[in-house]
A and B are shown apart, each in its own frame.
Chain A
Amino acid sequence: MSHITDLTLAEIRDGLKAKTFTATEAAKAYLDAMEKARGLNAYVLETPEQALAMAARADDRLAKGEGGPLEGVPLGVKDLFATEGVRTTACSRILDNFVPPYESTVTSQLWRDGAVMLGKTNNDEFAMGSSNETSAFGAAVSPWLPPGWSAEEGKRKLVEARAAGKAPNGFLVPGGSSGGSAAAVAARLCPGAAGTDTGGSIRQPAAITGITGIKPTYGRCSRWGIIAYASSLDQAGAFGHTVRDCAIMLNSMAGHDPKDTTSMDIAVPDYEAAIGGSVKGKVIGIPKEYRVEGLSAEIDALWQKGIDWLRDAGAEIREISLPHTKYALPAYYIVAPAECSSNLARYDGVRYGERVAGREITELYENTRAAGFGAEVKRRILIGTYVLSAGYYDAYYVRAQKIRTLIKRDFEQAYASGVDAILTPATPSPAFGIGEKGGTDPVEMYLYDVFTVTVNLAGLPGLSVPAGLSSGGLPLGLQLIGRPFDEETLFTLGHAVEQAAGSLGRPERWWA
């Protein structure tokens, strides 16, 4: 038998049901791999005790021929999900050693279905970032080495950087904000992981680490118990090695929750059943506005390959126009900071987290928030406070919300004309280096989400599928955007792309 950690989530599920190995064996294999990969900083908290206890319960059920759809399957969980009795920090100092007395709805559904928690994965602080570099726990490292680096060189440099307590500059980012989840799956430190996506935080890291990521429609999953960043954009989703893995995870994560009034009260279909469906006759929109200035030739070529694959599978390709695409990122950087400035008002050093003393209560708030929030979070709170302040609200916030209406209308018109799904690149380039972007101009980093952010503003589902390698041998992804609540079509089409693209291979375990 090949090593358990080399299997996909679907293969692990099937192997457990067939009693090829036990849940305890699977959990131990991953815990062992995690211990050897600490230099990647993919996990900010390992939970071996919970993992082994949950695996033992799963083994009892599996032995009796019982168990849920994910019985015994080990998973990583982004540190944005509140996990009962397990430290949850959003990778911010301000939450310090917060231990939630409750469980998020999405993770509770994963455990209900038998999944086993391996640990909490790294992310940008409060999910604000595109590279995982804003985490209070430090950057996560992509398991893909920069072009030209040997395994020995990678291992030596990582050991040196960690020993010196320095940022692992020069290594590649795993993307963000769910960078730890993506790095963990790509490095085979879990077969699947739960993440969240506010502007691309699942699809973008999935694309540049060579794995698959689904952000479902806004309202498909409950946001209850997920630490809020921008509530009108935040949505939970999943990472896996394959499209099928993502479909299996979403089956458990999706569904209405009375505790989240924005979660949709409609039936959840069997997403896995959509895998292998026919692509024949599906109409795929190719938005001309995504051919942005400066798009690299290899991304453009990959996009064309994706078009050819779907055409060869029987789909009809149609050029479409989404004229307001270029305004999505600037609108996002008004709407998201505005909502974040409001959501993060709760971190005041009174009810939980770190407190820094002051002579009176306002000074306590100011000192606590100055010490507890990192630079990017402060920037977004300040921008958000500014655009919501008296005299600027209409000029910024209301205007941005009107542009959001226009962006959504662009998509609605495309779908009304018969388009079933839209194919775009997932990122404008392969992974960049840690320490490379955003040092002086924050906007430089923001531009990396240019292809993913429109989807959040319009509340649509998006799937990122590994599609090829760059000239330097780094993974690249394609994005499929669907109609609201039609994740099934994305899984069908994504599987077709995956089949045509073939495996990108996996990074060797140079860190171990």
Chain B
Amino acid sequence: MSVDAATVKRIARLARIAVTEEDVPHLQGELNAILDFVAQLDEVDVDGIEPMTSVTPMVMKKRQDVVTDGNIAEKIVANAPASEDNYFLVPKVVD
């Protein structure tokens, strides 16, 4: 399988990465090089094989449903590019 220019733009849109018209041809070439490389997996017989979900044989632990942390709003917004009154600021989302 390989991607065409329209697919590159669609994926970039899904990934929320702006691409310019000039970016598309080289991205298309690089992505197709990777897809060509991974295409060798098609020759493996995977009938009846379970896909891996956990590399270590362990049952995931469940923690107690209790509050263990909190009241640190200032710390949480400390790295925000824009914040006010412990809220993150973004451009207007709804009219």
> Could you list which residues of chain A lie within 8 angstroms of chain B, going by C-beta atoms?
98-99, 101, 217-219, 232, 258, 261-262, 264-265, 324, 326-327, 329-331, 333-334, 341, 345, 348-355, 357-367, 369-370, 373, 378-379, 381-383, 385-386, 389, 392, 395-396, 398-406, 408, 441-443, 446, 457-459, 484
State the total of A-B contacts with C-beta under 8 angstroms.
Answer: 169
Task: Across the interface, name the chain A residue whose C-beta is closest to B19.
Answer: A370
CB pair B37–A446 under 8 Å, yes or no, is yes
B37-71 near A? 1/0 per residue, CB < 8 Å: 11111101010011111111010110100000000
> What are 23 A-B interface contacts by the 8 Å CB criterion?
A99-B79, A261-B61, A265-B61, A331-B41, A333-B34, A345-B16, A351-B76, A366-B16, A378-B17, A379-B27, A379-B34, A381-B17, A382-B12, A382-B31, A383-B34, A383-B35, A392-B1, A399-B41, A402-B50, A404-B55, A405-B50, A406-B49, A408-B52
Given A351-B79, A373-B17, A406-B44, A364:B52 Cβ within 8 A:
no
- Min CB distance, B43 to chain A, in Å? 9
Q: How far is the CA of A360 from the CA of B91 in the complex (A)?
A: 6
Residue numbers of B with Cβ under 8 A of A are 1, 3, 7-8, 11-19, 27, 30-31, 33-42, 44, 46, 49-56, 58, 60-61, 63, 72, 75-82, 88, 90-93
Asked whether, in the complex, the Cβ of B41 is within 8 Å of the Cβ of A99, the reply is no
Cβ contact of A361, chosen from B15, B80, B91, cutoff 8 A: B91
Interface of chain A: mostly helix, strand, loop or mixed: helix
The 4 lowest CB-CB distance pairs between A and B, nearest first, are A459-B55, A401-B51, A352-B79, A355-B81
B28 to chain A, nearest CB (A): 10
Query: Which residue of B12, B33, B36, B55 contacts A408 across the interface (Cβ within 8 Å)?
Result: B55
B residues within 8 A CB of A350? 80-81, 88, 90
Residues of chain B contacted by A383 (CB below 8 angstroms): 31, 34-35
Q: Is the CB of A385 within 8 A of B56?
A: no
Chain A residues contacting B49 (CB-CB under 8 Å) are 402-403, 405-406
Tell whether, in the assembled complex, residue A382 and residue B91 are in contact, meaning their CB atoms are under 8 Å apart.
no
Q: Nearest chain B CB to A348's CB is how many angstroms away?
A: 7
Shortest beta-carbon distance, B92 to chain A, in Å?
A: 8
Whole-angstrom CA separation of A146 from B17 in the bound complex: 38
Query: Are B30 and A442 closer than 8 Å at their CB atoms?
Result: yes
**Apart from A329-B37, A350-B81, A382-B8: 8 A-B pairs, beta carbons within 8 A:** A101-B72, A264-B56, A351-B80, A351-B88, A369-B15, A382-B12, A399-B41, A406-B46
Instruction: Choose one: B31, B46, B81; the contact of A403 (CB below 8 Å).
Output: B46
**Bound CA span A366–B37, Å:** 28
Q: When the two chains form the complex, which single residue of B40, B78, B81 contacts A330, counting CB atoms closer than 8 Å? A: B40
- When distances are taken between beta carbons in the complex, the residues of chain B under 8 Å from A441 are 30, 33
A382 and B11: CB pair below 8 A?
A: yes
State the CA gap A363–B91 with chains docked (Å): 10
Chain A residues with CB under 8 Å of B63's CB are 258, 261
> Which residue of B16, B42, B77 has the most chain A CB atoms within 10 A of its CB atom?
B16
- CB closest residue in chain B, given A220: B56
Considering only CB atoms, which chain A residue lies closest to B14 in the complex?
A: A385
> Which residue from chain B places its CB closest to the CB of A378 in the assembled complex?
B17
Check B31–A386 contact: CB distance below 8 A. yes
Give complex CA distance A353, B42 in Å: 40
The CA of A60 and the CA of B38, in the complex, are separated in Å by 56
Are A442 and B93 interface neighbours, CB within 8 A? no
Question: Which B residues lie within 8 Å of A369 (CB)?
Answer: 15-18
Residue in B31, B41, B56, B93 whose beta carbon sits within 8 Å of that of A217 in the complex: B56
Chain B's closest residue to A457 (CB) is B55
Measured CA separation A330–B36 after assembly (Å): 10
**Best-surrounded residue of A348, A370, A458 (most CB of chain B within 10 A):** A370
Whole-angstrom distance between the alpha carbons of A402 and B52 in the complex?
Answer: 6
Closest partner residue, chain B, to A357 (CB atom): B91
Q: How far is the CA of A379 from the CA of B35 in the complex (A)?
A: 12
Alpha-carbon gap, A465 to B68, bound state (A): 42
Residues of chain A within 8 A of B53, CB atoms compared: 401
Report whether B15 and A385 are in contact in the complex, using a CB–CB cutoff of 8 Å: yes
**A334 vs B40: C-alpha distance in the bound complex, in angstroms?**
12
> Contact at A443–B78, with CB atoms within 8 Å?
no
Q: Is the CB of A365 within 8 A of B16?
A: yes
Determine if B56 and A219 form an interchain contact, defined as CB atoms under 8 angstroms apart: yes
Given the known interface contacts A219-B58, A341-B15, A369-B16, the answer about A405 and B82 at a Cβ–Cβ threshold of 8 Å is no
Closest to A334 in B: B38
Chain A residues in 8 Å Cβ range of B93: 360-361
The answer to whether A348 and B52 touch across the interface, beta carbons within 8 angstroms, is no
Q: Could you tell me the distance in whole angstroms from the C-beta of A315 to the nearest C-beta in chain B?
A: 27
**A327/B18 in contact, CB under 8 A:** no
Taking a contact as CB atoms under 8 Å apart, the answer to whether B38 and A262 are in contact is no
How far does the alpha carbon of A402 sit from the alpha carbon of B39 in the complex, in Å?
15
The smallest beta-carbon distance between A333 and chain B, in angstroms, is 6
Instruction: Please give, as numbers and ranges, the residues of chain A lying within 8 Å of B76 by CB-CB distance.
Output: 101, 351
Given A330-B41, A358-B91: A352 and B80 within 8 A (CB)? Answer: yes
- Whether the pair A232, B37 counts as a contact (CB closer than 8 A) is no
Is there an interface contact between A400 and B41, defined as CB atoms closer than 8 Å?
A: yes
Are A396 and B3 closer than 8 Å at their CB atoms?
no
Interchain nearest-CB distance for A262 vs B (Å): 7
User: Taking A373-B17, A382-B11 as contacts, is the C-beta distance between A458 and B55 under 8 angstroms?
Assistant: yes
